[in-house]
Structure 1
Amino acid sequence: MPTRRAYRVAYDGRSYFGFQRQPDVPTVEGTLLDALRALGVVEHGADTPSGYAAAGRTDRGVSAVAQTVAFDAPDWLTPRAFSSELPGGVRVWADAAVGPAFHATHDAVRRTYRYHLHAPAANPDRAREAAAALSGEHEFHNLTTDPRGPRTRRDLSVSVDPANDDCLTLTVAAGGFPREFVRRLATVVRGVAVGETDLDRVEEVLGEEKLSGPRGVAPAPPDPLVLADVTYPGVEFEADPVAVEPLQEVFRERRITALSRARVFGDVVEMATVDDDA
Structure 2
Amino acid sequence: MRAYRIAYDGQPFYGFQRQPDVTTVEDTILDALRALDVLGTTADTPPGYAAAGRTDAGVSALAQTVAFDAPDWLTPAALNSELPADVRAWASADAPDEFHATHDATSRTYTYYLHAPDASDERARDALDALAGEHDFHNLTPDDNGTVRTLSPALDREGPFLVVELTAGGFARQLVRRIVSVVAEIAQRDAPLARIEQVLAPEPLDGPEGVAPAPATGLVLTGVTYPTLEFAVDETAAASARAVFERQRVDRATRSRVAGALTDYRE
TM-score (norm 2): 0.98
Matching residue of 2:34: 37
Change (3 A) 1:272 1:36: farther
Q: Which position in structure 2 is the counterpart of 1:59? A: 56
- Give the count of matched residue pairs: 267
Identity rate, percent = 56
List aligned pairs for 1:161-200, cutoff 5 A.
161-164=156-159, 166-200=160-194
Task: Say if 2:22 is the partner of 1:28.
Answer: no
| Corresponding residue of 1:125 | 122
| SS of the residue 2:264 aligns to | helix
Please give the secondary structure, in 2, of the residue aligned with 1:223: helix
CA deviation vs aligned residue, 1:191-216 (integer Å, no higher than 9, x gap): 11113311000110011010011000
Of 216, 219, 229, the match for 1:225: 219
The answer to which of 99-108 and 113-122 deviates more is 113-122
Q: Distance in 1 between matches of 2:21 and 2:102?
A: 25
CA distance in structure 1 between the partners assigned to 2:210 and 2:166 by the alignment = 21
Partner of 1:204: 198
Once residues 196 and 130 of structure 1 are traced to their aligned partners in structure 2, the CA distance between those partners, rounded to angstroms, is 11
For 2:243 and 2:156, the matched residues in 1 are separated by 27
1:243 maps onto 2:237 in alignment: yes
> Aligned AA for 2:118?
A
Partner of 2:256: 262
| Cα RMSD for the two superposed structures | 0.9
Shift of 1:112: 0.2
Which amino acid is the alignment partner of residue 223 of structure 1?
T
Gaps of 5+ in 2: none
Which residue number corresponds to residue 247 of structure 2? 253
Question: Following TM superposition, by how much is the alpha carbon of 1:272 offset from its aligned partner in structure 2, in angstroms?
Answer: 5.1
Q: Distance in 2 between matches of 1:259 and 1:13?
A: 17
Q: Report deviation, 1:246.
A: 1.1
Q: Which residue of the partner structure matches residue 155 of structure 1?
A: 150
Partner deviation per Cα, 1:172-228 (whole Å, 9 max, x = no partner): 000000111111010000111113311000110011010011000000000010000
The amino acid that maps onto 1:230 is V
- The more displaced of 188-197 and 18-27 is 188-197
- What runs of 5+ residues in structure 1 fail to find an aligned partner? 274-278
Q: Match of 1:122, SS?
A: coil
SS of structure 1 residue aligned to 2:217:
coil
Report the secondary structure of 2:53's partner residue: coil
Letter in 1 for 2:170: G
Cα distance in 1 for partners of 2:252, 2:190 equals 29
